[in-house]
Structure 1
Amino acid sequence: MDIFFLGTGAGVPAKLRNVTSIALKLLEERGSIWLFDVGEATQHQILHTSIKPRRIEKIFITHLHGDHIYGLPGLLASRSFQGGESEVTVYGPKGMKEYIAVSLSVSQTYLKYPLKIVEIETGIIFEDDQFTVEAQLLEHGIPSYGYRIVEKDKPGTLLAEKLVEAGVQPGPIFRKIKEGESVTLEDGRVIIPQDFLGPDQKGRIVTILGDTRYCENAISLALGADLLIHEATFSKGEETLAFDYFHSTTHQAAEVARLSGSKQLCLTHISSRYDRQAWHQLVAEAQEIFMNTDIAEDFKEINIPSK
């Protein structure tokens, strides 16, 4: 599981930072990629990476401000010409269906793959046997959501030597035990999976927030997160300005990380008023409250190792 930043700026594209888009690479887990926001020129950013648009499975939009969605119609259209045939699901606030429908209709764009659009409300918006995704409203000028991605716990390592000692030979029984299925042997003994598996492998948690003021729902979404991605449009001391513009400061992002018990914080949505030299200061400000803080840059990748 890896996070890859395709765009990390605020408001408008800048030379050092494109507007927002984040890829959650789940290539080992499910052979796919999930995108969070698709700002203008996201597909151009992708051209400089190893990301394959045909592997994009889900797209989660935090809110409908242009710097988070203007790249979406182009990306959806181009995917048809880049070998994309599998279904894509787009999740986003009310208005998402109309925006995509009008964009594709007016441009007479035909997609060669199924497209599903889900206009979300708060709560669990996706769940399968691997992951759940929860959405909660944040505080912004328009409805803006944060997403909590939770990987479900996986069975522990198969204790193969212990099974062999119990007289079980490698083969189909090993697989059934690994999948948590009890097995009755020919001699009548019942092999219970819990006796031959190591501790469950705990799932990872990633929290990706849209634009927001400091708020309680941000803390709730980030509880125990292995990685919290939080906007920091402004530096410390600019709390009034951040409040007026429905954004957060470095200190506020760090406070969310601290109160939520997150393990790592990455600041993003950085205003172009801060040049490259100032980025170190933004990190230092957050570290005054939460030490394990980093700052996103376009094309930066963060690995989230298995536990």
Structure 2
Amino acid sequence: MTVRLTVLGCGDAFSDGGRMTSAYLVEDRAGRLMLDFGLTALTSLQRAGIAPDSVETIVLSHLHGDHFGALPVLLLWREFHGDPAHPLTVIGPPGMPARLRALHEAMYPGSWRTAWRFPLELVELAPGEPMERGGRRITSLPVNHDAGAEPATGLRLETDGRVIAFSGDSGWCESLVALAEGADLFLCECNLWSGPGEGGHMSHERLAAELPRLSARRILLVHMGPEMLSHSGPLAAERAEDGMVIAL
């Protein structure tokens, strides 16, 4: 079966260039899964004509708002508008359930449910410990990005004989080599144009130097800042665009 990835949002925290924040839809034999659910993800889903309650799994790279900030709105949408028979599983780094509840209460005080109208499961994914869920294999590895008390991770999804890797937000680190190894598609952050790329975000200069070490078959640059977006010359890898659909 063909695995399909739709770029619902590949922008940075500030939506530079008018791009939507981090949200990638994967469709495979098991159904619909999303990598990240950033601030604009619910809007992006509905603009694409995708029912929000048709996504049964969300895997989070880390717990910055532009990567998980729309989850409270999604939960309330599903509570009031969704099909109660459609379950949702949210998988994230250790500490995610508590952070999600705190975010939800900050945004909509008193609205967190101990029992939602739909089945909700919150699952912590320990870095370096692969998880098997519904025929998929999900692995996270720690990356070079400060996300607070909870770890920032990159993700590797193996499903239907295909591999999708995602750096999350990260400056250069060795985990990126392992995440990208043999992947059919590697979504790689490239926020900056120049510099060492070690301060929590990747630079194009550093990525270009390290590119021979990344063995993914196809690399898409995501989470680009103003300098990256304004650069009109050739790049080390393909630039992602909101709305791209990729068949693997």
Band the TM-score falls in, shorter-chain normalisation: 0.7 to 0.9
Matches of 1:113 and 1:3, distance apart in 2: 26
* 2:92 counterpart residue number: 92
How far is the alpha carbon of 1:264 from its aligned partner?
0.5
Unaligned runs of 5+ in 2: none
Matches of 2:134 and 2:68, distance apart in 1: 29
* 2:198 counterpart residue number: 243
* 1:120 counterpart residue number: 125
Q: Secondary structure at the match of 1:97?
A: helix
How far is the alpha carbon of 1:274 from its aligned partner?
4.2
Please say which of residues 5-14 and 54-63 is displaced more in the overlay.
Answer: 5-14
Q: Find the partner of 2:235 among 285, 288, 292.
A: 285
Matches of 1:129 and 1:6, distance apart in 2: 23
Matches of 1:83 and 1:254, distance apart in 2: 46
* 1:137 counterpart residue number: 142
* 1:233 counterpart residue number: 191
Instruction: Give the CA RMSD over aligned residues.
Output: 2.1
How far is the alpha carbon of 1:250 from its aligned partner?
2.5
Preserved contact between residue 54 and residue 85 of structure 1 (Cα < 8 Å): no
Structure 1 residues 274 and 128: CA distance shift in structure 2, 3 A: closer
Matches of 2:104 and 2:140, distance apart in 1: 26
Q: Secondary structure at the match of 1:285?
A: coil
* 2:220 counterpart residue number: 266
Structure 1 residues 84 and 274: CA distance shift in structure 2, 3 A: farther
Preserved contact between residue 9 and residue 22 of structure 2 (Cα < 8 Å): yes
Q: Secondary structure at the match of 1:239?
A: coil
Does residue 44 of the first structure (1) align with residue 49 of the second (2)? no
* 1:162 counterpart residue number: none
Matches of 2:32 and 2:206, distance apart in 1: 30
Unaligned runs of 5+ in 1: 153-202, 287-292
Matches of 1:301 and 1:84, distance apart in 2: 29
* 2:21 counterpart residue number: 19
How far is the alpha carbon of 1:79 from its aligned partner?
2.4
Matches of 2:133 and 2:98, distance apart in 1: 27
Structure 1 residue runs of 4 or more that deviate by more than 4 Å after TM superposition:
254-257
Task: Judging by fraction of residues, say which structure has more helix.
Answer: 1
Preserved contact between residue 139 and residue 215 of structure 1 (Cα < 8 Å): yes
In the alignment, residue 150 of structure 1 is paired with which amino acid?
Answer: E
* 1:164 counterpart residue number: none
TM (norm. structure 1) is 0.71
* 1:74 counterpart residue number: 73
Preserved contact between residue 251 and residue 285 of structure 1 (Cα < 8 Å): no
Matches of 1:256 and 1:58, distance apart in 2: 32
Q: Flag the structure with larger Rg.
A: 1
In the alignment, residue 10 of structure 2 is paired with which amino acid?
Answer: T
